[in-house]
Chain A
C-alpha cells in the first residue's frame, strides 16, 4: 500500500502510539468507576480517544488521494542539533551536572557557551561577531535579570563565588 499523505501518515502514527502509551500507562493506576473515578480513568479515556483519532488519520492517509503527496520534506538537522545542544549546554554550564561532579559555571559562562553553539545553527558564522554578541547579551542579561529583576541566578562559577 502506498502512503497518500506523508504528513498525515506520520502524525496519525504519532497520535496512535502516544495515545496507546498513555492508555496503557493508565491501566497501572486505579481506574475506578464513573461515579468514583480513579487516577487512571480520565487518562485511559483520553488515551483511547487519541489512539482512535490517530488510527482514523492513519487510515485516511493511506486511502484519500492528495495532489502533492504532502511530503514531510527534509529535516533541518543543523539548526535542530545546534539549537537544542546550545540549550542543553546552557543548563549544564549554569547549574553544573552533580551526577558527574561538574561544578556550575554560572550565568556569564553559560551565556557565552550558548551563544557560541546556537550561532552555529545559522548560515554564516563569524567568531568575532558572535563573541561581540555574547558580550552584549551578557551585559544586558546581567543588568536586566540580576540588577533590575533580582532573579536568583548563580552568576559566577561556584568555585569562585563559593
Chain B
C-alpha cells in the first residue's frame, strides 16, 4: 500500500537517535515557554525559532514540530491551572479544566488533555497522510485565480472565528496584507515603502512582527494589569492519573472530539477553534451518566473532548498548508515562515520533488505528539512548579530571549529597533480591542496574494470576472460569501458574541 510505504519512508527519515533528541528538546522548550502565563503559542514558536537555525532542514522541522506541540500543550496547562486561556482554542478547556483543578483534580485534567490530544494527533496524522497525496493532485489543477480565491476564503474563515468585531478583524487582515507588501516588489524590483532604509528593502521579518505584537505587546498589557489576580494550585495536585471511571467517561468524548476535529480542521480558517467549540457543545448535549459531575463544574469530558478536537483540528489543518501551501491560521503562518527560512516552500511541489522531506515532516508531526506524552505526563509536577515562578523574574527573561532571537535571525540590530516599534503597536492593538492574529496571517499571505492576483489578471487580460467564471474559483468565493452571511445572520451573530464574551 502506498500509504504504508510513504509513512515508512517518513519514519525511516525521522527515526534517528539524533532526530528523536531534537524532538525531545523541541517539546521540552515548547512546553517550558508555552506554560508561562500570558505567552500564547504564536509568541512561543516565534521565540524558539532561532534555536532551529543551525540545524539541517529535517532536524529543524522535527524540532519545530516538537516546539509546536509543546507550545500547544503548555497553553492547555496554563488554561487548566491558572484559568488563563493562552489562545482562543483553549477558551472552552478553561471552563471545566479550571473547575477540575480547583477540586484538586488538576492531574487527571492534564492527563486527559494530554492523552486525548495524543490519540487525536495519531488519527490526524493518518488522515493527513491519506489525504495529502490525492489533494496534491487537486492542487496541481489550481490556477492563480483559484489560489487567490482560496486565500480569500482562508482569510475570511480566519476572521469569522476571531473574537470581537468582525469588521475590525477584516481591517487587521488588510493591514497585515499591506505590511506584507513592504519591501522589494519581485516583479518590478521597486522597493516599496522602504523610505530608503536598506534593511526595509528586504521586507519586515515575520519573526519581528510576531514577537513585537504577540510577545512584547502582551507582556506590556500583562504588566499594566493590577498585581496578579492569578491563583495557582500547587499544593492540591495529587493523583496524576485519571481513575477507571474517568476513563470510561473520557473515551467516548475523545472519540467524538477527534472526529469533529478531523473534519473541521481541513477547513481553511480557524478550524481548530471551531472544532473545540463544536466538540464542547456536543458533549454538553449528550446525557450525563449517573453520578457524573455536571458540565461547568469540572467534568472530565469537558476537557477531553475540546482538547482532542483542537489537536485533531490542528493536525488536519496541516493539509491545506502542505498540499496548497496556504497557512490556515496564525500559528501555521509562522510555521510557513519557519520552513521558508530552511529553504522549504510548502506546497504541492514539496511532495513530488522532495518526498523524503514531506513524509519525514508528517512522521515528525506524530513524533512530536508522542514525545509530548512521554515528556509531559511524568513532568506535570514540574510544569506546575514553573507556574509559581514570580512574574517579575519571568518577563525580563522573556524580553531578553525575544531580543536575542530577533537579533540572531539576521544578525542585525535594525530588527531590534523594529521589534520595539511593533511592541508599541501590539500594545496599542490590545488597548483598542484589535485582534492581532488575523494581522499575522495577512502579513504572510500578502505577497502570495498579490502574485496570484497579478498572474490571474494577466492571464485573463485584466478581466476581473475570471474569479467567478472559473468553476473552482467561483465555488471557493461562494463559500467565503456564505461564511460571511452566516456570521452576519442576527441569530448567529448574538451567539458568536456570546461565545467570545469570556475572553
Contact = CB atoms under 8 A, between A and B. Distances in A.
B224 A76 contact: yes
Nearest to B392: A122
A91 B423 contact: no
B399 A118 contact: yes
Contacts of B168: 8, 11, 57
Contacts of A129: 393
Interface secondary structure of A, over-half rule:
helix
A88 B177 CA distance: 27
B224 A54 contact: no
A151 B174 contact: no
A22 B223 contact: no
B178 A47 contact: yes
Contacts of B50: 149, 151
Contacts of A121: 220, 223, 395
B104 interface: no
A84 B216 contact: yes
* Interface range for A: 35 or more
B87 interface: no
Contacts of A54: 171
Nearest to B407: A94
Given A11-B171, A42-B454, A149-B54, 7 more contacts: A30-B190, A34-B462, A37-B457, A79-B219, A87-B423, A91-B407, A121-B223
A81 to B, nearest CB: 10
B403 interface: yes
B51 interface: yes
B403 A91 contact: yes
A50 B438 CA distance: 14
B400 A15 contact: no
Interface string B388-415: 0001110111011011100110010100
B391 A53 contact: no
A114 B396 contact: yes
B427 interface: yes
Contacts of A150: 54
A33 B463 CA distance: 10
Interface string B164-195: 01011011001101100100010110101100
A118 B395 contact: yes
B112 to A, nearest CB: 33
B230 interface: no
Contacts of B399: 83, 86-87, 114, 118
A132 to B, nearest CB: 9
A95 B392 CA distance: 27
Interface string B412-435: 010011011001100110011110
Interface in B1-59: 50-51, 53-54
Contacts of B192: 25-26, 29, 39, 43
A72 B170 CA distance: 20
Contacts of B433: 7-8, 11, 70
Interface in A36-61: 36-39, 41-43, 46-47, 49-50, 53-54, 56-57, 60
Interface in B198-222: 216, 219-221
B178 A22 contact: yes
Contacts of A49: 174
A149 B463 CA distance: 52
A90 B188 contact: no
